[in-house]
Amino acid sequence: MTYENILKCLKILKHYGVSPQLRKLAEECGEAVQAALKYDYRADEITKRALITEIADLEIMVQQIKLVVGYEKVNKEIGFKLNRQL
């Protein structure tokens, strides 16, 4: 995500507050799950576009919550999990 978009995420987070955005994150997770399952069942341009849209929505919410819990903490955990998987 670009620095400009991260600043936009921060502005949105400040506007709505943490609690509503945590609930929105949960909502977007559910929508992404549904889109992923539909794409897995029938991979076509319609389901692909829906999946792209939901990934974008989810990424926006994840970025906002990373601002709350700390980018470095999340990045450290990502590194740990990737290394463990490999």
Both structure tokens of 24: 């929105």
| pLDDT at 70 exceeding the cut of 90 | yes
Confidence of residue 78 (pLDDT cuts 50, 70, 90): very high
pLDDT band at 83 (very low <50, low <70, confident <90, very high): very high
Q: What is the mean pLDDT of the chain?
A: 97
In this structure, the dihedral spanned by the alpha carbons of residues 48, 52, 54 and 56, taken in order and rounded to 10 degrees, is 180
Alpha-carbon dihedral sign for residues 38, 34, 9, 74:
negative
CB proximity list for 17: less than 8 A, separation 6 or greater: none
Compute the average pLDDT of residues 27-53: 98
Rounded to whole angstroms, the Cα distance separating 54 from 61 reads: 11
pLDDT at 1: 87
Q: Which residues contact 73 (CB under 8 A, 6 or more apart)?
A: none
For residue 77, give the amino acid letter. E
Mean pLDDT (whole number) for 34-53: 98
Give the pLDDT of residue 52.
Answer: 98
